[in-house]
Amino acid sequence: MTIDAEISDYLEGSSFEGDLRPEAEKNTFKENITIRGLSTIRYTNEFWTSRQRQAASIHEISYRACFKPQLPHFFINMLTRKGDTVYDPFSGRGTTAIEAALMGREIISNDINPLSKILSAPRLSPPQINELRQRLSEIPFYQDLKSDLDLSMFYHPQTESELLSLRNYLIEKEDQEPDHLDRWIRMIATNRLTGHSKGFFSVYTMPPNQAVSAESQKKINLKRDQIPEYREIKKIIEDKTGQLIRNLTGDQRNNLRNASGKALFLQSDAAKTNAIPAESVDLTVTSPPFLNVVQYSKDNWLRCWFNSIELEKVEKAITMAATLEQWSSVMFSVFKELYRIAKPGGWIAFEVGEIRNGQIKLEEEVIPLGVKSGFKCAGVVVNQQKFTKTSNIWGISNNHAGTNSNRIVLFKKPLY
């Protein structure tokens, strides 16, 4: 089970170009490894990092447990060409889909959580500021509206009234097939519900990519001696839009627009994606949910409320395996489906993480699952990012001795 020579050369020669840090690794460390009797190669280097290539600003949507755009970019660039189809079965905020679209690829995105499509699909059609401003001016905002939920610990009364006005407007639009502007506004508002700065609708809360409970927010307010101040909904939406589109090039806008015409956004079990034709996907790049580490539906209760999503249904549908055995069983079903939809010669870049402080390394589970499904293991790619002192000052987590690692298992579907 050795990797294609061309890809091996790419990985062995790949390095962090333009790095001025003398301690940066310039050569890929290559080692043969054996996992449960299966031999493969592990490649370690700083293949990508936030400093290597500035990501497009369109990615800047907060979402828990998401990877950086540089990760899918690396594999899309290495393993596909323009016009190829890139897929993510656990799409989250849509990082893989958006990056693939920016690079001129066709995209398929899937996530059982309906918030995924809400946060990702609109970014294939970013508006111009003037048309957004005009649409916002047409949305009626009323005074003294109150939610059935007690949201007073999060919002100033006037902000809450504006938020409810917007929510009611968007609910009405759902019956009329909302256009790209309304979908964009819905996405921005969903993203700005709670956070830690004046760029969000709420009073200070942490973290910015999930909602704490009402009781927890009361405690935060008491500890910080704060009360919600007025935040202007329409201005925040316009400001965030400007941030998201600030560095988009004309070519990138065209690529996004072209991808939107054929893009497929699914809300399915990743093991049952019948809407995807057999042997149609050139590359899958994904990071699956890991062993109850992330409580997606609970973290997003306020986003679900704003979008009239039944939280209980989402919670039941999302895979939350409690044991490694359950997780492996679910992932084996997913791998069989990925094998069905992969083109002969197609690839999978499957990110795995350390569970329980490194006691469980999921590549040791994933490699046998992929091989059992029919794939060839092409190697394990370890991106080891070194942090500067400044990075550590800013509190970057998940690092030991100044490093942070992503580990991706590469699989290839045989040609015959």
Q: Is residue 399 domain-shared with residue 278, that is, in the same domain?
A: yes
Q: Residue 358: which CATH number?
A: 3.40.50.150
Q: Is residue 44 domain-shared with residue 163, that is, in the same domain?
A: no
Sign of CA dihedral 171, 174, 176, 181: positive
Q: Is residue 65 domain-shared with residue 101, that is, in the same domain?
A: yes
pLDDT at 118 over 50: yes
Q: Is residue 20 domain-shared with residue 153, that is, in the same domain?
A: no
* Lowest mean pLDDT segment, chosen from 8-17, 22-31, 326-335, 357-366: 22-31
Tell me the percentage of the chain whose pLDDT exceeds 90. 67
User: What is the dihedral angle through the alpha carbons of 162, 167, 168, 170, rounded to the nearest 10 degrees?
Assistant: 130
The residue among 165, 169, 130 whose CA lies nearest residue 147 is 165
* The pLDDT of residue 399: 41
33 is a domain residue: yes
Q: Is residue 397 domain-shared with residue 269, that is, in the same domain?
A: yes
DSSP of 192-229: TSSBSSTTSSSSB-S-TTS---HHHHHHHHHHHT--PP
310 is a domain residue: no
Q: Is residue 377 domain-shared with residue 290, that is, in the same domain?
A: yes
pLDDT at 165 over 60: yes
pLDDT at 383 over 80: yes
* The pLDDT of residue 359: 66
Beta carbons of 200 and 230 less than 8 angstroms apart: no
* The pLDDT of residue 206: 83
Q: Tell me the pLDDT band of 174, cut-offs 50, 70 and 90.
A: confident
198 is a domain residue: yes
Number of compact structural domains in the chain: 2
Q: What is the mean pLDDT of residues 236-265?
A: 96
Digit-coded pLDDT (tens) for 212-245 = 899 999 999 999 999 999 999 999 999 999 999 9
* The pLDDT of residue 59: 94
H/E segment holding residue 88: strand 85-88
Q: Is residue 142 domain-shared with residue 21, that is, in the same domain?
A: no
Q: Is residue 133 domain-shared with residue 117, that is, in the same domain?
A: no
Q: Tell me the pLDDT band of 356, cut-offs 50, 70 and 90.
A: low
64 is a domain residue: yes
Q: Is residue 225 domain-shared with residue 263, that is, in the same domain?
A: no
Domain that residue 326 falls in? 5-124+249-296+319-412
Mean pLDDT of the chain: 87
* Lowest mean pLDDT segment, chosen from 39-48, 90-99, 121-130, 290-299: 290-299
Q: Is residue 170 domain-shared with residue 239, that is, in the same domain?
A: yes
Digit-coded pLDDT (tens) for 390-403 = 333 323 344 433 34
312 is a domain residue: no
306 is a domain residue: no
* The pLDDT of residue 65: 62
* The pLDDT of residue 319: 63
Q: Which has the higher per-residue pLDDT, 130 or 65?
A: 130
362 is a domain residue: yes
Q: Is residue 268 domain-shared with residue 383, that is, in the same domain?
A: yes
Q: Is residue 274 domain-shared with residue 404, that is, in the same domain?
A: yes
Q: What is the mean pLDDT of residues 163-172?
A: 96
pLDDT at 272 over 50: yes
